[in-house]
Amino acid sequence: MAPRTLGLILTFNGERLLARCLASLSFCDAIIVVDSLSTDATCDIARAAGAIVLERRWEGPGPQFRYALEYIRALEPGVDWVVSLDQDEYLTDELAANIRAAVIREDDLAGYWMPRSSFYFDRFMRHSGWYPDRLLRLFRPARMEVHVSGAHYSFHPVGDTGRLGGDIIHYPYRNFREHLDKINSYAQQGADALKAKGRPGGVLAGTLHGLARFAKLYLLKLGLLDGRAGYINAVHGAFYAFLKYVRACEREDWGPKP
């Protein structure tokens, strides 16, 4: 019996690239979309593509993925492999072909890593720590754990893994405004994490961490080879680090004390 493969996407107001994302997973036996109560056409696009749409209030990436995987294990017990994509990603034809070949191989691997190529400002980044950005996105659902750090998640296999050629194509931001919105959110979550650990913040700490972040992205990670996009990304990275440490020491309310 041929292995059964299922596509999995978490969504929220993801109409921008969802149709292309779903189309790249058309080889899957089924596709599940876990939507966090979108207000745009996301659910309509998913249903029109034949996806199973589950709607659930957003509680963070960990709870959403655990909910999805529990659904798969309980109601789709015959699923051998899961291919997971974000709503702003899609598979190249090369990677899709390699995934199809991998799932029919008789091996005991828990999953496969694959590179992700992300577009920023005016190009697909090839340095700056952005590429190859290998991610575990093909895995056996019974042999995978979800790890969450702040706003970010990652899949961790229970067992050996392999690698596949071809890229996940990723368009993470529409514009600088959207990138700065993400920086604002991530910096606040980072500051909250520092406070919870009892670690001090401050302007000096923020400045030093910001400079170190810029040097890492632009020099050590060769962001200078990514042209203007590499420089802008490094500046934004420094700003994120600065904000995180400054916010870790701010008062909850800047208004007058009662």
Amino acid 145: pLDDT: 84
Residues 118 and 191 in one domain: no
Amino acid 154: pLDDT: 80
What pLDDT, in 10s, does the model give residues 133-191? Answer: 999 999 999 888 888 766 677 888 999 999 999 999 999 999 999 999 999 999 998 99
Please say if the pLDDT value at position 50 is more than 80. yes
Please say if the pLDDT value at position 55 is more than 70. yes
Look up the pTM and report it: 0.90
Please give the helix or strand (H or E) that residue 55 lies within, else none. Answer: strand 52-55
Task: Please give the angle made by the CA atoms of 196, 180 and 217, to the nearest 5 degrees.
Answer: 80
Residues 133 and 232 in one domain: no
Please say if the pLDDT value at position 255 is more than 90. no
For residues 159 and 136, the answer to whether their CB atoms sit within 8 Å is no
The verdict on residue 55 lying in a domain is: yes
| Domain stop point among 148, 170, 192 | 170
Amino acid 150: pLDDT: 62
Closest alpha carbon to 75 in 4, 171, 137, 152: 4
The verdict on residue 72 lying in a domain is: yes
Cα–Cα dist 196/184, whole Å: 18
- Work out whether strand 111-114 and strand 161-163 pair parallel, antiparallel, or are unpaired: parallel
Percent of the chain with pLDDT over 90: 79
The verdict on residue 253 lying in a domain is: no
The verdict on residue 109 lying in a domain is: yes
